[in-house]
A and B are shown apart, each in its own frame.
Chain A
Amino acid sequence: MSACVWGGMDIQFFIELFFGGLTRGSIYALIALGYTLVYGIIGLINFAHGEVYMLGAFTALLVAGVLGVYGFPAGGILVVAALAAVVWCAAYGYTLEKVAYKPLRGAPRLSPLISAIGMSIFLQNYVLLAQTSDFVPFPNLLPPMDFLEYIDYVMGPSDFLILLVSTIAMVSLSLFIRFTRMGKAMRATAQNRKMALLLGINADRIISLTFIIGSALAALGGVLIASHMGQVNFGIGFLAGLKAFTAAVLGGIGSIPGAMVGGLVLGLAESFTTGYFSGNYEDMLAFGILILILVFRPDGILGKATVEKV
C-alpha cells in the first residue's frame, strides 16, 4: 500500500472525526445555551437542566410510540413528537423555575444550587419510577435521504438533521435575542436586573421566558440525540448536562456565542481524542477541561473578566 493511499485514508478518517465532532458539539451547544441563558440572568447553575434534556428525549419517544400505535402517517411522527417534546419541556422548565428557584431569589447563593441538585435527582427518579430503568430503544423515524449517498461515510441522515436543526435553532435564537423586544429585555435583565425593573421590564416574566427557551432548546437536543443514538435512558441527562455545562464554561458562561463555540470545541476535542487515542477516557477529557478552565480561565474563551465587588 502506497503512502498516498495512507494519506488519503488519513484525511478521510480526519473528516469523519471532524463531522462526528460537529454533530456532537452542536448537541452540547444546544444544551449549553440553556445553562448560559439562565446563568446570565439569575446567576444560577441550573443543575437540573440536563434532566430537562432527558425528559425531552423521553417525551418524544412516548409521543412517537403513541402516534405509531394509532397509525399516524410515518412522515409526520418525528415532527409532531419533537414539537410535543419542545412544548412539554418548556412547561417543565417553567414549572421548575416557579417551584424550586423563584422562592429562593435573594437567598444565599448556595441555596438555589442545592435546590437545583435536589430537583435533578428528583426528576431522574421520577422518570425511573414512572417509566423504566432500562435503556429504551428509540424508533428510527428519519426519512431516507438519498442526497447524502456520496458522503454517507461522514454523515448519516441523523447527523445531517442534527446539524441542520441546531444551526437553525441557534441562528434564530441569536436573531431573537438581538432584534426582538423580548430579546432586548432579556439582555437588559442580564446586564442589570434592578435597572431593568426600573425601566418597566417585568423581570419575573423574563426569567420565566429564559427558562422556557433554554428548556425548549434542551428538548430539541434530547430528541435529536435520541434519534441519533437510537436509545434513551433515565440517566442520560447527568453526563450530557455536565458536558454541556463544560461547554458553556469553556465558551464563557453567560455569553451566547460562547456557548455555541464552547459546544463545538468540546465536541471536536472529544471526537478527535476518541479517534486518535482511546475512547476510554472520553468522559474524563470533558471533566479535565472543565476543571482546567475553571481554575485557569474561569471567564472562558469569549467571556468577559468579572471582578467580584464587595
Chain B
Amino acid sequence: MQRMLRAAFAALWFMILTLPVLGISLNTVEHSVVWRWDRILGLGAGIFALAMLWDWCFARKAAGRPVLPLPGGFGLGFALEALRSRPGLRRCALAVLAVVMLLMPVAGSFYQTNIMISALLYVMLALGLNIVVGLAGQLVLGYVAFYAIGAYAYGLLNQFLGWGFWACLPVGGLLAVLFGFGLGFPVLRLRGDYLAIVTLGFGEIVRLTLQNWTSVTGGPRGISDIPRPGLFGVSMDIAASTTYIYYLVLVAVVITIVVISRLKNSRVGLALQALREDEIACEAMGVDITRVKLSAFALGSCWAGFAGVIFAAKTTYINPSSFTFMESAMILSMVVLGGMGSIVGVVIAAFILILAPEYLRAFSDYRMLLFGAIMVVMMLFRPQGLISGERRRYHISALHGQGGRP
C-alpha cells in the first residue's frame, strides 16, 4: 500500500515536471496552444508502473539479490551454463552460428546484408572500445575520432594519391594508433573522469578540424566517390561488392574476437585488468603504468582505424556528421550493456542495439532515448552488464592438493 502511494506520488511529480516540455504544443504561426493532456496522463500511468518496478528493484538490491536476473532469466543463463560446461555443445553452437553468418548474404536481401555490415562494424568498434574501457578501465568518450581518422585516411589517400583499399587498411589502422599514442601521452596522468572529458574534447577537435579544414577534407561536404574494395581486379556490381564487403567485415570481426580473447589472458591483458582494478596498487606491483596505458590506447584505437577504413569503403561517401559524440556514446552504451570486459556480452549488445531499431521500425525514433536510459539503468541495477566478463581464477594447489587452474 505504501509502495502504491509512493508510486502515485512519483507519477504526480513527473506529470508536473514534464508539463511544459511534454504537455504544451505551441503553434507560433497560428498563435495557438494545444495542451497535450493525453501525453501527460499516459506518462503518469507509465511512471506509476515504473515507480513500482523501481521500488521492487531497489528492495531486491538492498536484500543483496541480483536485480535483473539475467542471464538467469529467459533461459539464457541455462543455455550459457550448458555452453560453458560442455565443449562439444559449444563447438556445435559455434558451427551453427558460423553457417548462419556465412549464408546470411546468400539467404538475406541486399538491404539485410547492408544492415548486417553496419552491425558487424559496430561489433568491431565496440570490441575495440572494450579493450580501453572494459579491460583497462579508462573511460574514453572520443572513440569515434579514431574511427573518423581511419575513414578519412582512406578517403584522402585515395583522393590525393590514388591508393587502393588494401594499401589503406593497414595505413588507416596505423594512423589511428599514432593518434592514440598522441592522445595517450598527454593524458597519462589524468584520473578517470578528467580523462573522459579530455578524450571527449579530443574527439570534438578531430571532428571540427575535419569540418573546417575545407581545402583538404572537403569540409562539411565530405569526400565522395570512394571506391569499394577490389578483389584482384575483378569488376563487381553493387550487390556483389556488398556481399564481398560483408565477408570482409565478418573476417575482420572474427580476427578481432580471436585477438582480443587471446589478449585478455596475456601478460598485457592481465596488466590492463590490474590497471582497471586499482591504478596505484597496480603500479606498486611493478607494472609499468605508462606502457600499459599507452598500449591500451594503441590497441583500442587500432580497431577503430580498421573499422573506419572499411566504413569508408562501404558507404563510398564520408562527412564529419558521421563522427559526432553521439556515435561515441552509442558505442559506449554497447560496451556498458554487454558488460565491460566481456567479449560475448559486447557482441550480443552491439547486435541488439543496431538490429532492434532497424527491424522494429516503430521503435527507431526512440533509439537514442533508449540508449541513454540503458546507460543509466545498467549502472543502477547491473553495472557488470548483461554478461559479466569472466575473471581467470587461480586455486592454490598446496591447499587443495590438486592441479592449479580449474
A residues touching B (Cβ–Cβ < 8 Å)? 44-45, 55, 58-59, 61-63, 65-66, 68-70, 84, 88, 91-92, 95, 99-100, 103-104, 107-115, 117-131, 136-137, 238, 242, 245, 249, 280-281, 283-284, 287-288, 290-291, 294-295, 298, 308, 310
Q: Which residues of A contact B201 (CB under 8 A)?
A: 242, 287-288, 290-291
In the complex, the answer to whether B26 meets A66 with C-beta atoms within 8 Å is yes
Judge whether B263 is part of the interface by a CB distance below 8 angstroms: no
In the complex, the answer to whether B204 meets A287 with C-beta atoms within 8 Å is yes
Which of A62, A112, A281, A298 is close to B26, meaning CB atoms less than 8 Å apart? A62
Identify the stretch in B102-110, B151-159, B353-361, B366-374 within 8 Å (CB) of chain A at 4 or more residues. Answer: B366-374
**Chain A's nearest CB lies how many Å from the CB of B45?**
17
Q: How many positions in chain B have a CB within 8 Å of any CB in the partner chain?
A: 58
Judge whether B375 is part of the interface by a CB distance below 8 angstroms: yes
Residue of A nearest to B209 (CB): A284
Known: A63-B20, A281-B212. A122 touches B192 (CB 8 A): no
Known: A242-B201, A287-B205. A122 touches B22 (CB 8 A): no
Which of B198, B280, B329 is close to A294, meaning CB atoms less than 8 Å apart? B198
Cα(A92)–Cα(B20), bound, Å: 12
Q: Which residues of B contact A308 (CB under 8 A)?
A: 191, 280
Q: Which residues of A contact B333 (CB under 8 A)?
A: 118
Cα(A108)–Cα(B336), bound, Å: 14
In the complex, the answer to whether B375 meets A121 with C-beta atoms within 8 Å is yes
Cα(A7)–Cα(B212), bound, Å: 32
Q: Which residues of A contact B14 (CB under 8 A)?
A: 95
Judge whether B308 is part of the interface by a CB distance below 8 angstroms: no
| 12 A/B residue pairs, CB under 8 Å, sorted by A | A88-B20, A100-B380, A115-B380, A117-B329, A125-B369, A125-B372, A129-B369, A284-B209, A290-B198, A294-B198, A298-B194, A308-B191
Judge whether B17 is part of the interface by a CB distance below 8 angstroms: yes
In the complex, the answer to whether B193 meets A45 with C-beta atoms within 8 Å is yes
In the complex, the answer to whether B375 meets A115 with C-beta atoms within 8 Å is yes
In the complex, the answer to whether A107 meets B383 with C-beta atoms within 8 Å is yes
**Chain B's nearest CB lies how many Å from the CB of A238?**
7
In the complex, the answer to whether A113 meets B20 with C-beta atoms within 8 Å is no
Chain B contacts with A in 1-55, Cβ cutoff 8 A: 13-14, 16-18, 20-22, 24, 26, 28, 31-33, 39
Which of B197, B280, B329 is close to A45, meaning CB atoms less than 8 Å apart? B197
In the complex, the answer to whether A117 meets B332 with C-beta atoms within 8 Å is yes
